[in-house]
Amino acid sequence: MTSFTQIRNAIPKGTKATSTSRALLLFAASWLAYGTCFYFAATDHFSFWSRLPASLLEGVFIGSLFVIGHDACHLAFVGSSFLSRVLGRLAFLPQYQPFTSWVYSHNMLHHSFTNVRGLDPTYPPFTFEEFSNLPPWRRLLERLYRSRLGIGLYGFVEIYWKQEIFPPRSMINRFNTPNQFQIDRILVGLFTGLQLCLIVVLSRNRFEGVCWAVLLPYAIWIYLFSMVTVLHHTNPRVPWFQGKDQWNAKAGLVNCSVHLEFPRVLELIFMEVLDHTAHHVDPRIPLYHLREAQEALQELFPGEIIVQHLTWRTFGGIISKCKLYNYSNHQWLDFDGVPTSDPIPLS
């Protein structure tokens, strides 16, 4: 069995090199695409058939900017850490995402303890006993969360609302820069105000303008974010851990990350963030080198990297199998406690 160190050393050394010019070009192109879509979606003299695709594409390009912000959060987008933080904060504005809370929840928790329940905040599964003891309304909500249509609600409520924009005071106190978090929330508020001012100028029907240019694109974005986030670490072949005593770096960073295969055009729009194993092996690899790093990993360790070709049907199949989890046997269950996967061997 290959060690984590061997896997990390297999990544070509040149993939960690940053390019400021390339990064700035991607940043500018993504903002231009987002801004253009916002303009068409918000302006009411355009027809329904112009505003609808503009609104849908706006949600997609919010995702492109998020990937840039995510990269900058790891200080991997450009060589300058100061410029990374500036670009990251700007790229996170269309998602209304404070930079500081993402650094804590994503970098410090998710990457440090991937799929460790109680530490990794991203979609941890209940046991059958825990699920059975939930009040009826919470069991119903969990069934909704772990469905194809309800997965976006999970991302909005459990990740964005509870962890990113309104985290509990106990979490804020653990941020490296809690005062900066308040400034980041003010920046998000100012950006939201700017959007509303632009809609007042561009649209006579303000409510309609908000729906087309803000609400629908955000719904598209939060659904895509939730779907990809869950599928990167939820799969019948992917284990979860009850605590750190079962967990190790290789199991957490290699065996718990899935490389998703989308149609190539979507992989390009999402700037290779779907090459997720390479990102977890070394988060300092810039997004524009992730594909090269991922291909190297899959070529050298074909039996150890989980690759999942994704369609709407396979998405449904994964979600239908991964409802609850047996942490003793490392086996996925349905809501009746029936195993839906073989026990997952741990490395």
Every domain of the chain and the residues it spans: 20-333
Residue type, 44: D
3-state helix, strand and coil shares in percent for the chain, rounded to the nearest 5: 60, 5, 35
Query: Which pLDDT does position 255 carry in this prediction?
Result: 82
pLDDT tens digit at each of 347 positions of the chain: 566 677 778 888 889 899 999 999 999 999 999 999 999 999 999 999 999 999 999 999 999 999 999 999 999 999 999 999 999 999 999 999 999 999 999 999 998 899 999 999 889 999 999 999 999 999 999 999 999 999 999 999 999 999 999 999 989 998 888 899 999 999 999 999 999 999 999 999 999 999 999 999 999 999 999 999 999 999 999 999 998 888 876 677 778 899 888 888 777 777 778 888 889 989 999 999 999 999 888 888 777 888 999 889 999 999 999 999 999 999 999 999 999 999 998 76
Query: Which pLDDT does position 43 carry in this prediction?
Result: 96
Query: Which pLDDT does position 1 carry in this prediction?
Result: 58
Q: Where are the alpha helices (DSSP H) in 104-177?
A: 128-132, 136-145, 151-154, 169-172
Four-point Cα dihedral 25, 10, 3, 71, nearest 10: 0
Query: Which pLDDT does position 29 carry in this prediction?
Result: 96
pTM: 0.93
Residue type, 248: N
Residues 284-321 as b or e (16 or more Cβ within 10 Å = b): ebbbbbbbbbbeebbeeeeebbbebebeeeebeebbeb
